Amino acid sequence: NAGVTQTPKFRVLKTGQSMTLLCAQDMNHEYMYWYRQDPGMGLRLIHYSVGEGTTAKGEVPDGYNVSRLKKQNFLLGLESAAPSQTSVYFCASSYGFRGGGETQYFGPGTRLLVL
């Protein structure tokens, strides 16, 4: 049982390049989330999904897109990376109702540097 895994662990991009971050969970969770963590700020929700085939915007969705084609996977895409997207990205998953007391399980994070 690997829990929540993220690929890649670290990536350097040039401004304007695109990339996809992959999140996978093996706990059969319905809900999945993408957060970013920046120095001096709390984690901020980018996008989330309440089930296979669904996605919704979070607090800071601009510049990102997501897809949930399979229940166990949640992809975060950057179409044209900007230096402001330099951050650590965390994926999380949970069983049920979003924020309703259900524990969120986090992945190890992806460090992204945009030059």
Contact status: 19 vs other proteins (CB under 8 A): no
Smaller CB separation from other proteins, 3 or 53: 3
Total site size for other proteins, rule CB under 8 A: 23
What the block records as the tokens of 9 is 């662990």
- Reduced DSSP (H G I as helix, E B as strand, rest coil) percent helix, strand, coil of the chain, to 5: 5, 45, 50
Least Å from the CB of residue 106 to other proteins: 3
Contact status: 98 vs other proteins (CB under 8 A): yes
Contact status: 23 vs other proteins (CB under 8 A): no
Is residue 68 within a helix (H) or strand (E), and if so which, with residue range?
A: none
Residue 91 to residue 19: CA distance in whole angstroms:
16
The contact mask relative to other proteins for 49-88 (x = CB under 8 A, - = no) is -------x--x-----------------------------
Smaller CB separation from other proteins, 36 or 114: 36
* Number of other CB atoms surrounding residue 23 within 10 Å: 25
Least Å from the CB of residue 93 to other proteins: 11
Cβ-Cβ contacts under 8 Å for 59 (sequence gap 6 or more): 44, 45, 46
